[in-house]
Amino acid sequence: MANPKCLHRYLEDAARVRPDHPAVEEPGGAKISYRDLALVSDRLRDRLHHLGVRPGDRVGIYLRKSIDSVVSIFGILKIGAAYVPVDPTAPVARNAYILGDCSVRAVVMEECFSRPFDAEIGPAGGSIRKILLNGVRAGQSLREAVARHQENDPAPAAQTALGSPGDLAYILYTSGSTGKPKGVMLSHENAMSYVEWCSGMFEPHQDDRFSSHAPFHFDLSILDIYVPIKHGATLVLIGEDFGKDPARLASLISDERTSVWYSVPSILS
């Protein structure tokens, strides 16, 4: 596929070439095609634009790892904003600090996290617009949330940002072991240089099935998400519960027929 100027163009190319192929799968059989991944992320793009999100803004992702969170990533990128993923298992105080520190304009959040987040962030959260999901369910939760907003307050279609390589794509926060977590700002060019290098090194095929072991707030996730999307392959999400249970993990690799695995060596040893 052609080399685009921004990360979300990988999805647009794949959706055009392989619309019916599974783009993302969750263990257990839930999946979303490239066509639907593109369509639902378009609807999120429209909603975010309607909420006032503009190119260069930051948008938080406060979701468990899921198809819904992958859709959210691409919807945010399509509006020209940068995504800021947080760890939903981390203390609420940490996540409130992160999303406040980078001044997110909006956040895509599971409803169960909303009230504790509001209590922690206080008045500073008053300007943050929310798109609340009733859990995460293979992209369906995000689809329903956007449709619900559309019924009450219709959002017109927005243009997908053309973007340039130097535009900010995402912010990942350090562990904060020496003090407060610090945000590392990465551009589309930063990520795409790595994705293109991985493509040349590993020569992925469109029928490959990539494991996604790393949480999305870790930089290991960049290969997981974008290399398979670039090649029209399938991304198989691996939850944290499997990573902590080697016996289940071994059978999952077999059951899900993963052909590309990327993780720290200790997981497999």
Tracing tokens 């969170």 back to the chain, one arrives at 69
Domains and CATH numbers, the chain: 8-268 (3.40.50.12780)
For every one of its 269 residues, what pLDDT tens digit does the chain have, with 9 covering 90 and above?
A: 445 689 999 999 999 999 999 999 987 778 999 999 999 999 999 999 999 999 999 999 999 999 999 999 999 999 999 999 999 999 999 999 999 999 999 999 999 999 999 998 887 777 899 999 998 888 889 999 988 988 888 889 999 998 888 999 999 998 766 778 899 999 999 999 999 999 998 899 999 998 888 888 988 899 999 999 999 999 999 876 666 666 777 777 777 777 777 777 776 66
Query: Rg of the Cα trace of the chain?
Result: 18
Cβ atoms of 32 and 235 closer than 8 Å: no
**If you count them, how many residues does the chain have?**
269
DSSP 8-state class, residue 260: B
